[in-house]
Structure 1
Amino acid sequence: MSTQIVILAAGMGSRLGRSLPKSLTELSDGRTIMQQQFDNIHQAFGKDAKVTIVVGYKLEYIIDAFPEASFVYNEQYDQTNTSKSLMRALRASSSGGVLWMNGDVVFDPVALERAAKVVARDQSFVSVNTAKVSDEEVKYTTDAEGYIRELSKTVKGGLGEAVGINYVSSRDKAALVRQLARVDDQDYFERGIELAIEQNGLLVEPIDISDLYAVEVDFAEDLERANLLFS
């Protein structure tokens, strides 16, 4: 069975100040952020990888740009956060695990090649960068066995940052969906993961990609940094 991959791209991305969905922002090499993601997906998982995009804001532009993808509509894109977009995508997925990423991440293709090895053994994971720990980013801690224990922007003493590339295994997916349904509309999906760890005993590995570039583009300066890193 081909790997199921989800791109979360329903939000308005207002902080970047663009009229189109943030994932359609053009990079310095002429590709959009999402085209760069598709290229990386195909490099790591082959052309038969099944990609589903969660759309909302100005969805017609994304559908026109990537007609080969499947689409899930978050009709409450202006009232909910990534937790509800991911919930919709997981509910619409086939049996098996799901790899997902935020639609605004510019990242090294090797990050997915590294992830593919963990996907192959159907192990839930969160890709992380241990090189920096910023207040505004989602941070994590681990338990004695090295699995993720806490995962949020409010974590104290974080070991690094989550970069927005994650996987839920076939055995863990149902529990994560239940927790995503429970969390507040404005919660990020990381809250669902954190609750599933705490209440359902999910074992989620941190996959270190600190040696690779990965930039979540929220502001104009993030876009500048992404272009410098990957050019």
Structure 2
Amino acid sequence: MTTQVVILAAGMGSRLGRELPKPLTELSDGRTIMQQQHDNIAAAFGTDVAITTVVGYKLEHIIDAFPEVEYVYNEQYDQTNTSKSLLRALKATGKHGVLWMNGDVVFDPQVLVRVAGLVHADRSFVSVNTSAVSDEEVKYTVDAEGYIHSLSKTVVGGLGEAVGINYISSADKAVLIHHLTRCGDQDYFERGLELAIEHDGIRVEPVDISDLYAVEIDFAEDLERANLHV
């Protein structure tokens, strides 16, 4: 079965202070952030992959760089957060499960290799880093069975941080779409997952990738840190 992947790349990325959309930021090895993501996807899943990218800010630059993928337009990219970008993508990708990632994450190719078994088994998960718990990041707790219980920036006593690489199963997809619809315009997509867990009891596994690198690029120092790995 074709693996369905979504990249969320609609935002303005103003904190990094670059002229082009943040996913087109060049890394020290000459690739862009998005090219590294495409390469990692291909390394883990081969050519039988369908990529849908959500665009908004200066979308023509991303489309020109990656003309071979499908696109969804978030026309409210300057007024909404990732919950609404993911909502648009999930609605556009049929009934299949979806692996999605933020378009500004530079990560070890082994991350997707590690989660590939769960993707093929169609099991919902969130990739997490348990080696650091920053107040500014999305944190998580688990229930008695080890599944995600809470997932937000306001979590107290978080066990680790979500790194922005996740999967929703075909069975859970409609439920997540429903709760993303309920989210506020400024909510992150994690709020939709949290609501789906709370109200519908979907089971989302945390997958620990703490031994691998995954860096969300918000500031220049994040880019410097990512460039130590690529």
CA distance in 1, matches of 2:18, 2:189: 24
Match of 2:34 in 1: 34
Matched residue of 1:111: which SS? Answer: helix
AA paired with 2:191?
R
2: CA distance, partners of 1:48 / 1:146:
32
Aligned position for 2:119: 119
- Distance in 1 (alpha carbons) for counterparts of 2:105 and 2:73: 20
Partner Cα separation in structure 2 for residue 44 and residue 172 of structure 1: 23
In the TM superposition, residue 48 of structure 1 has moved relative to its aligned partner by 2.3
- Give the drift of 1:120: 1.2
Could you say what secondary structure the match of 2:164 adopts? strand
How far off its partner does 1:100 sit?
A: 0.1
Instruction: Say whether residues 1:3 and 2:3 are aligned partners.
Output: yes
Tell me the residue number matched to 1:209: 209
Residue by residue over 1:161-196, the C-alpha shift from the partner in whole angstroms, topping out at 9 and shown as x without a partner, is 000000000000000000000010000000000000
Letter of the 2:227 counterpart = N
Deviation string, structure 1 residues 72-106 (Cα, Å, up to 9, x no partner)? 00000000000000000000002210000000000
Show the counterpart of 2:68: 68
* Equivalent in the alignment of 2:87: 87
Q: Retained in 1: the 8 A contact 2:24–2:32?
A: yes
Deviations 1:84-138 (A, max 9, x none): 0000000000221000000000000000011111111111000000000000000
Deviation for aligned residue 1:222: 0.2
Q: Which residue of 2 aligns with 1:169?
A: 169
Aligned residue for 1:210, secondary structure, equals coil
1:68 maps to amino acid: E
For 2:58 and 2:15, locate their aligned partners in 1 and report how far apart those are by CA, in whole Å: 16
**One-letter amino acid of the structure 2 residue matched with residue 173 of structure 1:** K
Q: Secondary structure at the match of 1:38?
A: helix
Mapping 1:91-106, distance limit 5 Å? 91-106=91-106
For residue 135 of structure 2, what is the aligned residue in structure 1?
Answer: 135
Task: Give distance in 2, aligned partners of 1:184 and 1:7.
Answer: 21
Aligned to 1:182: 182
Residue 144 of structure 1 and its aligned partner are, at CA, apart by: 0.3
Question: Which 5+ residue runs of structure 2 have no aligned equivalent?
Answer: none
Runs ≥4 residues deviating over 2 A = none
Q: In structure 1, how many angstroms separate the alpha carbons of the residues matched to 2:114 and 2:78?
A: 34
- Native 8 Å contact 2:27 2:33 kept in 1: yes
Instruction: Tell me how far apart the structure 2 counterparts of residues 103 and 221 of structure 1 sit (CA, whole Å).
Output: 17
- TM-score, normalized by length of structure 1? 0.99
Q: Is the 8 A contact 2:95 2:173 kept in 1?
A: no
Size of the aligned set, in residue pairs, is 230
| 3-state secondary structure, aligned to 1:23 | helix
The one-letter code matched in structure 1 to 2:77 is: Y
Q: Report the Cα distance in structure 1 between the residues aligned to 2:39 and 2:47, rounded to whole angstroms.
A: 9
State how far apart, in whole Å, the 1-side matches of 2:102 and 2:143 are: 26
Query: TM-score if structure 2 supplies the norm length?
Result: 0.99
Match in the other structure for 1:160: 160
Counterpart secondary structure, 2:63: helix
Residues 8 and 102, structure 2, Cα contact 8 Å, conserved in 1: yes
Name the aligned partner's letter for residue 104 of structure 1.
D
